[in-house]
Amino acid sequence: MGLNYYQIKKNVLRARKLVIKSTNSAGSGHPGGSFSMAEILGCLFFKYLRYDPKQPQWENRDRLVLSKGHAAPGLFSSLAVAGYFPESELETLRKFGSKLQGHPDLKCPGVEFCGGSLGTGLSYSLGIALAAKMDGKNYHVYTIIGDGESDEGQVWEAAMCAAKYKADNLTAFLDRNFIQQDSYTEKIMPLDEKLEGNDISEMWNDASRWKTGDKWRSFGWNVIEIEGHKIEQIDAAISKANSTKGIPSIIIARTIKGKSIEHMESNPQWHGKAPDSDIVPIINLELNSQFMIAPSIIAGDMTHLENEIKRCVTGRADYIHLDVMDGKFVSNKTFDHNKIKELRSLTILPFDSHLMIDEPVKHVREYVEAGSDIITVHAEVCDESSFGEIHDLLKHNQVGVGLAINPDTELPAWSYKFLPTLDQLIVMSVVPGKSGQKYIEETHEKIKRLNVILNEHQFSGYIEADGGVTLENAGSCFIDGARCFVGGSAIIGQKDIRGIINEFRVQILKSRRKILLDKAYQLGGSTLVKKWIDLHIIGEKKEQIRKIAAEEGYL
């Protein structure tokens, strides 16, 4: 089965929006810690957990215990997306008579543990795990604990006990976001090393200072350390933990509190604070404006693609774009599913296979089996029937479904029925088959036209800009509506791939900030613009955004 990459991303986005909606409605709550664990919950609910929302007490279900119970809005939102109750109920958060209290409560379907006092969830989880062993049950117990919560001695008592009794059906996640209620964890009770200044990024970026894993190893646990917002890393970690026998596992997920909203990220103020109503539309727009960058490896050294894959990994690409050309649909020929299968073992980064081939319906299964996480076929060689077959096969195998259209092709009417479940639309901005072409300028207007159709048909996927994308036009492509950016010679063709990807992110981020400023000015003029800017207190964000606002005449 595939990674279920896009489906998880889309569900995580829905859950984050519900966190904002619910905490705003309640006027209180904890969005920061809900956002830091969002991808962990997404991978659990939409890849690994065995559950039945229609039978919440199904005896063979896996158990999920949220020990850091103040992040209840994150759990409730994921439960709603998973189908335990209507998403509209999130508006009752923290209200009298609601099933959705400030901390998890067993009256809410899907909740396994009444969270309140910190530090007790791991002990509770261990009890469930040992009961499963005694009863001969094979369900797995997952628990999420906080790093501030790890100040509690009971966490370490439970850790010793779990190792003693070889609770290998227990997997803990440490949401390592470096912030607790009062300040940064490393200023209060360091798990790694004491933080002298206020720049938490120095702890994030310097692996030599990470000591938390050593602590858990000394307690007899299998320790896996990951970036907690990378779906592919969470997926690989859970798989490894589930296959480890004889000892419990802990996944130390280094996360960012308030992830996806710039003014919330790594900001201690957002541990427990609800967003104001006038800011919510801007936040929702920012959530819709997350973006990804993928190198196209055929623009590199085709004789050493293994090395190009490694460069993508060290360059911190979001995923890898694989252009498959058969010499028929396009004149050039690259590689087929056999090469993708060879490359698959080199990285867990998602593989985005763009099939520029004739009759893809006859070959798509081979690319699923080769390890593709996203597969895109061309509208020019499909009809409603063949694409429907491809669509269903990919969905069944948890592979993202993409449709591509050439520069002179409009979105066919037969595709409209698939738009609500389509994961990716590639709007080709060069003639497919050759690298190094210039971006076709008419594509800007084409994407804007397409946005009308996509919105009318509830498209919730991602538009991918592919062909001639450079540092100079990436920002414009973002404003058009593209959220995934494929770079050939502009990225993989550069010597410093990590540096160029970072430059792409900087350019796209400028465009995103401009869009958000436009929204703020539209909703509340200069007053709301200033209010939104003033929320950005971490690092140099405020001055960077203020400069854009001044250039646009909003101040």
The model's confidence at residue 182, banded by pLDDT at 50, 70 and 90, is confident
Asked if the model's pLDDT at residue 435 lies above 70, the reply is no
Mean pLDDT of 191-202: 82
pLDDT of 289: 98
pLDDT of 206: 82
Tell me the residue type at 375: I
Torsion of CA 86, 87, 89, 93, to 10 degrees: 150
pLDDT of 447: 95
* CA–CA distance, 134 with 132 (Å, rounded to integer): 5
pLDDT of 436: 72
In the chain, where the domains are located: 5-276, 292-494, 496-555
pLDDT of 205: 79
pLDDT of 194: 84
Mean pLDDT of 372-390: 98
Mean pLDDT of 302-328: 97
CATH number of 5-276: 3.40.50.970
From 353, 342, 369, 345, select the one nearest 319 (Cα to Cα).
353
pLDDT: is 452 or 115 the higher one? Answer: 452
Asked if the model's pLDDT at residue 433 lies above 90, the reply is no
Mean pLDDT of 481-496: 96
pLDDT of 431: 93
pLDDT of 197: 79
Torsion of CA 501, 502, 508, 513, to 10 degrees: 160
Instruction: Decide if 5-276 and 292-494 have a common fold.
Output: no
Lowest mean pLDDT among 2-11, 12-21, 114-123: 114-123
pLDDT of 74: 98
Sheet-wide strand order for 170-176: 63-66, 141-146, 170-176, 249-254, 222-227
* CA–CA distance, 384 with 222 (Å, rounded to integer): 49
Asked if the model's pLDDT at residue 361 lies above 80, the reply is yes
Asked if the model's pLDDT at residue 1 lies above 90, the reply is no
**What is the largest distance, in Å, between two alpha-carbon atoms of the chain?**
68
Can you say how many angstroms the Cα of residue 437 is from the centroid of all Cα atoms in its chain? 31
pLDDT over 70, % of the chain: 100
What average pLDDT does the structure give for the chain? Answer: 96
pLDDT of 8: 98
Residues ≥6 apart with Cβ < 8 Å to 555:
526, 529, 530, 546, 549
Mean pLDDT of 393-399: 98
User: What CATH architecture does domain 292-494 belong to?
Assistant: Alpha-Beta Barrel (3.20)
pLDDT of 204: 77
Mean pLDDT of 77-93: 98
Mean pLDDT of 394-408: 98
**Contact at 8 Å (CB) between 283 and 204?**
no
The model's confidence at residue 25, banded by pLDDT at 50, 70 and 90, is very high
pLDDT of 82: 98
The model's confidence at residue 70, banded by pLDDT at 50, 70 and 90, is very high
Q: Mind spelling out the 3-state secondary structure of 488-555?
A: HHHHHCCCCHHHHHHHHHHHHHHHHHHHHHHHHHHHHHHHHHHHHHHCCCCCCHHHHHHHHHHHCCCC
pLDDT of 181: 87
